Amino acid sequence: MSTAGTARVEAVVDLDAIRHNVRHLAGLAAGAATMAVVKADGYGHGAVDVARAALDAGATWLGVCTVEEAGELRDAGITAPVLSWLHVPDEDLAPAVGRQVDLGVASRRDLAAAVTAAHATGRPARVHLKIDTGLSRNGCPPADWGDLLDAVADHPGEVEPVAVWTHLAHADAPAHPTIDRQAARFDEAHAAASARLDRPLLAHLANSAATLTRPDLHRDLVRPGIAVYGLDPTDDGVAPALRPAMTFRSRVALLKTVAAGEGVSYGHIWTTPTDRTLALVPAGYADGVPRLLGAAGRLEVAIGGVRRPVVGRVCMDQVMVDLGPAGEPHGVAEGDEVVLFGPDDGGPTAAEWAGLLGTIHYEIVTGVGGRPRVRRSLTGAAGQLTA
Ligand SMILES: *Cc1c(COP(=O)(O)O)cnc(C)c1O
């Protein structure tokens, strides 16, 4: 395969896969609207490009964590509804309200910040009231819910309540008993809010896992994140139709022969058993290859479709790959493409890295570095226009 012009390290994002995944999710939740979650720079895939592809494929909302992330979408000219859900005390929310970004509100303090922003901009703040139904993270504790609703009711012109929402603790285990308990608390909070505020309010609580496995929880709006990127949020293979969108790749920078009995890379945790051909791949932990993967000793890359073991420590900028006994044909040339992880086609995947590390693939894809170390390029129909 020709790799001329390929970057040293590159995250290639397949926007057709994003569109496919969003169409699939929106189809599963056909009775609900779909909010594509593009926080953390689109889980490392590029928030603006993913957002455009998702909207193109049937999502009608976008979800982010911070008002800065919302601002990036608005700066790019994206006008779709955006919800931003986590803010710190004294954060200036006026720019967000001025740009029609909806705000998550879970306390009187959050509400006060939204009211301040409404005064500053002269337009009501659209708020999604978050009830803590059992995740015990952000969200209003049920005991304070009535008080928060009173506070909202006290600011009729300044805040416009749009939704009641919550987040699940065990959605990745679809039969977990806490899910029904959270749903029951949620319905109670939603009913109380609708009655106290005397208006219809959207209901939303389904992340990717619940979108895929719990149609009873789709309500008015689903909020898939990881599934948009083609990664299965459960361990059960519930989402065979999803297509992983990111290929993280590098190139062979150097081939060399290392004599038998030599230590390789920092700390010499691996020693050549015989004279070996090694390939240097210029991607390391500064690019998003976790250093602990080297210690696990089971990291593999794919070169020309063949899996090869990484040997020795992962360094900041590079890893070494064992191509076998020196003198034996290996079919690898300097400049060849090296797939670090990619689609589930027999090569290594983000889920495989997560398994080696005892973490989740969410952390792997969001850990992929940005410019200037890692180039992000796009494939798929719109991608060719913007790459
Ligand atoms: C991140 C996030 C989501 C998306 O979760 P996934 O598991 O990636 O689908 C949905 N809702 C909230 C509040 C989140 O923080």
Q: What is the pLDDT along the chain (387 residues), one digit of tens a residue?
A: 444 567 899 999 999 999 999 999 999 999 999 999 999 999 999 999 999 999 999 999 999 999 999 999 999 999 999 999 999 988 999 999 999 999 999 999 999 999 999 999 999 999 999 999 999 999 999 999 999 999 999 999 999 999 999 999 999 999 999 999 999 999 999 999 999 999 999 999 999 999 999 999 999 999 999 999 999 998 777 788 999 999 999 999 999 999 999 999 999 999 999 999 999 999 999 999 999 999 878 899 999 999 999 999 999 999 999 999 999 999 999 999 999 999 989 999 999 999 999 999 999 999 999 889 999 999 987 544 443
Quickly list DSSP for 229-268. GT--SSSS---TT----EEEEEE--EEEEE-TT-EESGGG
Contact 217, 208 (CB under 8 A): no
- In the reported structure, the alpha carbon of residue 366 is separated from the centroid of ligand 1 by a whole-number distance in angstroms of 13
Rg of the chain on CA atoms, in Å: 24
Q: How far is the CA of 292 from the centre of ligand 1 (A)?
A: 26
C-alpha–C-alpha distance, residues 338 and 280, integer Å: 10
Ligand 1 closest atom vs CA 224? 9
Q: For tokens 């308990």, what's the residue?
A: 181
Location of each CATH 3.20.20.10 domain in the chain: 31-229
Instruction: Give the list of residues 6+ apart from residue 346 with CB closer than 8 angstroms, or none.
Output: 302, 305, 307
Looking at residue 5, its pLDDT comes to 65
pLDDT score for 384:
46
Q: Whose CA is nearest to atom 4 of ligand 1?
A: 225
| H helical segments located in the chain | 15-28, 39-43, 47-56, 67-75, 94-98, 108-121, 142-153, 177-197, 208-213, 292-296, 350-357, 361-366, 381-386
pLDDT for the residue numbered 383: 44
Q: What pLDDT, on a 0 to 100 scale, did the predictor assign at position 3?
A: 46
35 annotated ligand-binding residue: no
Which of the listed residues 137, 167, 186, 213 should we mutate to test ligand 1's pocket, taking the one with most ligand atoms within 8 A of CB?
167
Amino acid identity, residue 296?
A
Closest ligand 1 atom to Cα of 211: 9
208: Cβ below 6 Å to ligand 1? yes
Cis bond before residue 124 (omega within 30° of 0): no
Q: How many CB atoms lie within 10 A of CB 255?
A: 17
- Locate the ligand 1 atom nearest the alpha carbon of residue 165 and give its number: 13
CA 264 to CA 309: how far, in whole Å? 13
Please list the active-site residues: 39, 266
Q: Is the dihedral of CA 101, 102, 108, 114 positive or negative?
A: positive
**C-alpha angle 132/130/34, rounded to 5°?**
115
Q: How far is the CA of 180 from the centre of ligand 1 (A)?
A: 18
Cβ of 74 less than 6 Å from ligand 1:
no
207 CB less than 6 Å from ligand 1?
A: yes
| DSSP one-letter code for 173 | S
Q: Is 46 in the pocket of ligand 1 (CB under 6 A)?
A: no
Query: What is the amino acid identity at position 140?
Result: C
Predicted local distance difference test score (pLDDT) of residue 366? 97
* Cβ count within 10 A of residue 27: 11
Please name which of 366, 355, 352, 284 lies closest in space to residue 317, comparing C-alpha atoms.
284
3-state secondary structure of 286: coil
Q: For the chain, how are helix, strand and coil distributed in percent, rounded to 5? A: 35, 25, 40
Q: How many residues does the chain have?
A: 387
Quick check: CB of 211 below 6 Å from ligand 1?
A: no
Q: What is the CATH number of domain 31-229?
A: 3.20.20.10
In the chain, CATH 2.40.37.10 covers 246-386
Which residue bears the tokens 């619940």?
Answer: 210
CB of 167 closer than 6 A to ligand 1? yes
Distance of CA 186 from the midpoint of ligand 1 (Å): 17
**Cβ 67 vs Cβ 87: under 8 Å:** yes
The per-residue pLDDT for 158 is: 97
pLDDT of residue 256: 98
DSSP one-letter code for 216: G
> Residue 234 has what pLDDT?
87
CATH of the structural domain 246-386, one choice from 1.10.10.10, 1.20.140.10, 2.40.37.10, 3.10.20.740: 2.40.37.10
Neighbour count for residue 11 (Cβ, 10 Å): 26
Rounded distance, CA 152 to CA 189, Å?
14
Quote the CA–CA distance of 69 and 102 in Å, as a whole number. Answer: 12
Structure tokens at 239: 């989402």
Instruction: Identify the three-state secondary structure at position 359.
Output: coil
3-class DSSP state of 375: strand
Residue with the nearest Cα to atom 6 of ligand 1?
225
Residue 85 near ligand 1, beta carbon < 6 Å: yes
Tell me how far the alpha carbon of residue 168 lies from the centroid of ligand 1, in angstroms. Answer: 9
Contacts of 219 (CB under 8 A, 6+ apart): 32, 202, 203, 204, 205, 206
Task: Return the half-sphere exposure (C-beta side, CA atoms, 13 A cut-off) of residue 278.
Answer: 26
In a 3-state reduction of DSSP, which class is residue 30? Answer: coil
Q: Is 52 annotated as a binding residue?
A: no
